[in-house]
Amino acid sequence: MHMLQTVLLPLAICALSLTTLIQAQSNDTPDVNVQTTFPNNAFNRVSNGQANRVVFTLTQPKSGADSDRILTLESITGAFLNRDRQGKKGYVMRNMTSTKFKSLPLKPTNGQPLQVPFDFYPEFKPQEVGVEFRILVKDGQTSKVHNLHAYTGSVSVVEPAKSWFDVQLLSLYALLAAVVGTAVYWASKNYPGSNSINKRKQRASTAKANAASGSSVGTKGQKVEPVSASSSAYDEDWIPAHHLRKSAGGSNSPKPRASRTNSGRK
């Protein structure tokens, strides 16, 4: 019996210590070191309507109670702030889209700290706005998720630089070129003194002259004389010669018709 008490007592003390540690961790917010950088935005200048990247470097303390905690990164979120209305309605201008992760451990891997990029898209007129980023960290021992502050500051929203090869500008250039080309073509066809108008006038005057002279012009510019009765004679080359002689003889010496005299009447 004494031996059993000797074995169970240390186990009970360990279990009590572990329970006390878990309760303390569930009540205490973990201590996480967060370093925020804007790698592509000098002087915190962000482009309006485009993706702007911020990088978070997360580490746990190397000593203390939080150094042994099993912490994982679950998501990153943020918001645009109106610094002039702090503590009032309208302080949060717009929330950013959250980015979720698959429980990234905060403990360094191969001696390298955890670095996580986050992209946000400002949609404002050029101005200076406040930004705030927060991270959701999960405690693996208590399964509790902690909402931790990561960064609060200001950024200057500027319009992105225009490029000559931008898709929207290229579409605008093509539309303007089509409009100008159509206007030039219409002017070349209808402007006084153009070749097309001169050709139409020349054809009209030629048609009037042909109508007045009684002749017409063919499709290839050949003059066509009006057809007369004498020019409509048929071709006699295919008729046999003896038929032609008979026809010619009969036409030159027609037979006289018999005349009626009074001598036959008595």
Torsion of the alpha carbons at 9, 12, 14 and 16, rounded to the nearest 10:
-140
| H or E element, residue 92 | strand 92-95
- pLDDT (0 to 100) of residue 1: 47
Position 149 scores a pLDDT of: 96
Coil/strand/helix, residue 258: coil
Per-residue confidence (pLDDT) for residue 261, from 0 to 100: 47
> What is the model's pLDDT at position 13?
39
DSSP string, 192-239: TT-HHHHHHHHHHHHHHHHHHHT-EE-TTS-EEPPP-SGGGPPP-TTS
Q: What is the dotted CATH code of the domain comprising 30-158?
A: 2.60.40.150
Q: How far is CA 128 from the centre of its chain?
A: 30
State the Cα–Cα distance between residues 204 and 206, nearest whole angstrom.
Answer: 5
Both structure tokens of 8: 């169970």
- Tens-of-pLDDT digits for all 266 residues of the chain? 444 445 444 444 344 333 334 444 455 889 999 999 999 887 889 999 999 999 999 999 888 877 889 999 999 999 999 989 988 999 999 999 999 999 999 998 888 999 999 999 999 999 999 999 999 999 999 999 999 999 999 999 999 877 666 666 677 778 888 888 888 777 776 666 556 666 666 777 777 777 776 554 454 455 555 555 454 455 666 677 776 666 555 555 555 555 454 444 44
pLDDT of 17 reads 39
Mode of pairing for the β-strands spanning 71-81 and 127-139: antiparallel
Q: CA distances (Å), 13 to each of 21, 25, 40, 65, 75, in order?
A: 12, 18, 54, 19, 37
pLDDT score recorded for residue 18: 39
Predicted pLDDT at 248: 55
pLDDT of residue 183: 83
For the chain, the structural domain boundaries read 30-158, 163-193
d(CA 80, CA 53): 15
